Amino acid sequence: MAPVTFRDVRKAFGQVEVLHGVSVDIEEGQFVVLVGPSGCGKSTLLRMLAGLEHISSGEILIGDRVVNDLPPKDRDIAMVFQNYALYPHITVAENMGFSLMLKGASKSEIAAKVAPAAEILGLTHLLERYPRQLSGGQRQRVAMGRAIVRDPQVFLFDEPLSNLDAKLRVSMRTEIKNLHQRLKTTTVYVTHDQIEAMTMADKIVVMHDGIVEQVGEPLELYDRPANLFVAGFIGSPAMNMAPGRLDDADRGVFVTRGGQRIAVAAPGAAEPGRDLVCGIRPEAIHLGGDVALTVEVVEPTGSETHVVAKMDDVEVTCVFRERITARPGETLKISIDPQAVHLFDAEGGKRLSA
Ligand code: ADP
Ligand code: MG
């Protein structure tokens, strides 16, 4: 296990800079998720850590060692990709032990490392099978087994679950997290899926267009997004956004463009006279109150009811614990938890509320 440090890391492909100075500290044993939309530079950053991509400027450290010029094989890391690329003509056991065999380990040494890794992953009964005889989830587990067997300082994962169906993805998520809790190896995990990030990470790094938008624990990001990008990216259904301003006479009231009044417990640095965006999580909306919505669509999920409605011209999604029978076109009176109202600067998107 080792900490990992990115210090003002930049990457250019030819003339095009795709990472614009990324700094992140990853503690020893931490499970850190890099999350962001496709093309934001997650894989590039991970590949630079792995040594598969040259670093244009800045420094990457594993432990207290700068690894910029260290070849991949000397970095003591193991990487699991989306395309797990097992060797088809050798068994599960041989796939798992392959890197040790390359290093010249003896058969008994290899077996002694493969057996416990197989045990942890529930692969013991499959060790003599060939990859084609395994399901997608089992193959992904073999790919992880191959990484575990190397006992690296750091595990790297690049969208390892993207090729699996939805149900398997959820169970593999739990399995990988469980694995980390047992092995406690420093892990850097890349995904575009914010739910994966929220459920698995000790710490999330939200990336966008080659920069880090915010770093924090999952619920920190959820409760106090630093800007409109993070606010809109983290959370499902997404945070509702209503443009407007604070009331001139009362900083504790946000007034939407359509004139709806929303109480704000902690306006922080937000000032009247400034164009703002009010962010409201779907579950911060409660039945009964002074704010009027016009119902558009009602979606019962069983455990909750999602209502898509209009607050004047702004579309608002509500998540209610209650079962609701409202019809399209009906008015729904709601209230919004004043503690859960987020205010952002309309220009630049920075968080202003406390
Ligand atoms: P992500 O993994 O977040 O989807 P990537 O790190 O793969 O994003 O890509 C970040 C940006 O760098 C994208 O604009 C992509 O087109 C560009 N890019 C990635 N690899 C190369 C390459 N080998 N040559 C040129 N551009 C690249
Ligand atoms: Mg990628």
Looking at this protein, which amino acid is placed at residue 320? F
pLDDT of residue 70 exceeding 90:
yes
Q: State the closest ligand 1 atom to the C-alpha of 38, by its place in the atom list counted from 1.
A: 4
The distance in angstroms from the start CA to the end CA of the chain is 37
For residue 108, pLDDT over 90 is answered with yes
Separation between Cα atoms, residue 184 and residue 177, nearest integer Å: 10
What integer pLDDT is reported at residue 343 of this predicted model?
Answer: 98
What percent of the chain is modeled with pLDDT above 70? Answer: 100
Ligand 1 atom closest to residue 44's alpha carbon, by position in its atom list: 6
Which of 13, 53, 194, 212 to mutate to test ligand 1, by most ligand atoms within 8 A of the CB atom? Answer: 13
Residue 1: predicted pLDDT: 84
Count of other CB atoms within 10 angstroms of residue 128: 10
Only one residue has tokens 């922080």, namely 268
What's the 38 CA to ligand 2 centre distance in angstroms?
7
Return the structure tokens found at 203: 């710490």
List the CATH code of the domain at 240-345: 2.40.50.140
Centre of ligand 2 to C-alpha 316, Å, is 31
Average pLDDT in the chain: 95
Ligand nearest to the CA of 82: 2
Take atom 10 of ligand 1 and give the residue whose Cα is closest: 41
φ/ψ (deg, to 5) at 123: -110, 0
Residue 84 has pLDDT above 80, yes or no: no
Distance CA 165, CA 100 (A): 31
Give the pLDDT confidence score for residue 345 in this predicted structure: 98
Distance 162 CA to ligand 1 centre (A): 17
- The answer to whether residue 255 scores a pLDDT higher than 90 is yes
Q: Is a pLDDT exceeding 90 seen at residue 82?
A: no
How far away, in angstroms, is 69 Cα from ligand 1 center? 21
Q: Given this chain, do its domains 4-232 and 240-345 carry the same CATH topology? A: no
CB-based contact 352:276 (threshold 8 Å): yes
Residue with CA closest to ligand 1 atom 22: 13
Atom of ligand 1 nearest to the CA of 14: 25
Confidence tier at 165 by pLDDT (50, 70, 90): confident
Residue written as token pair 């624990």: 217
Cα 193 to Cα 37, 50, 62, 236, 284: the distances in Å are 8, 22, 26, 11, 23
Cβ 120 vs Cβ 179: under 8 Å: yes
Neighbours of 298 (CB within 10 A): 20
pLDDT for residue 83: 72
- Residue 333 and residue 289 in contact, taking contact as beta carbons nearer than 8 Å: yes
Residue ranges covered by each domain of the chain: 4-232, 240-345
Q: Distance between CA atoms of 141 and 119, rounded to whole angstroms? A: 11
- Predicted TM-score (pTM) of this structure: 0.93
Put residue 283 in one of left, alpha, beta given phi > 0 → left and psi -120 to 50 → alpha.
Answer: alpha
In what helix (H) or strand (E) does residue 138 lie, and over which residues does it extend?
helix 136-149
Give per-residue pLDDT as tens, 298-336.
Answer: 999 999 999 999 999 999 999 999 999 899 999 999 999
Ligand whose nearest atom lies closest to the CA of 157? 2
State pLDDT tens for residues 54-64: 999 999 999 99
Rounded to an integer, what is the distance from CA 351 to the centroid of its chain? 20
Residue 163 binned pLDDT confidence (cut-offs 50, 70, 90): confident
What gap in Å lies between CA 251 and CA 273, rounded to an integer? 10
- Which ligand neighbours the alpha carbon of 49 most closely? 1
| Residues 276 and 270 sit within 8 Å (Cβ to Cβ) | yes
Kindly list the protein residues whose Cβ atom lies closer than 6 A to any atom of ligand 1. Answer: 13, 18, 36, 38-44
Q: Which residues of 202-234 are buried (b: 16+ CB within 10 A; e: fewer)?
A: bbbbbbbebebbbbbebeebbeebbbbbbbbbb
- The percent of the chain in helix, strand and coil, each rounded to the nearest 5, is 30, 35, 35
What residue's CA is closest to ligand 1, atom 6?
A: 41
Distance, in Å, from the CA atom of 111 to the CA atom of 114, rounded to the nearest integer, reads 5
Long-range CB pairs of 139-142, under 8 A, 24+ apart, other chains included: 139/84, 139/86, 140/80, 140/84, 140/164, 140/172, 141/175, 142/84, 142/86, 142/92, 142/95, 142/96
- 44 C-alpha to center of ligand 1: Å? 6
The dihedral through the CA atoms of 291, 292, 295, 298 has a sign that is positive
Of 232, 233, 266, 241, the C-alpha closest to 251 is 266
Q: Hey, whose CA ends up nearest to atom 21 of ligand 1? A: 13
Q: Are 314 and 242 in contact (CB under 8 A)?
A: yes
pLDDT score, position 331: 96
User: Which homologous superfamily does the CATH classification assign to the domain defined by 4-232?
Assistant: P-loop containing nucleotide triphosphate hydrolases (3.40.50.300)
Is residue 341's pLDDT more than 90?
yes
C-beta of residue 110 within 8 angstroms of C-beta of residue 101: yes
Atom of ligand 1 nearest to the CA of 11: 12
What's the pLDDT score for residue 13?
A: 97
pLDDT for res 167: 85
The type of residue at 251 is R
**pLDDT score of 81:** 80
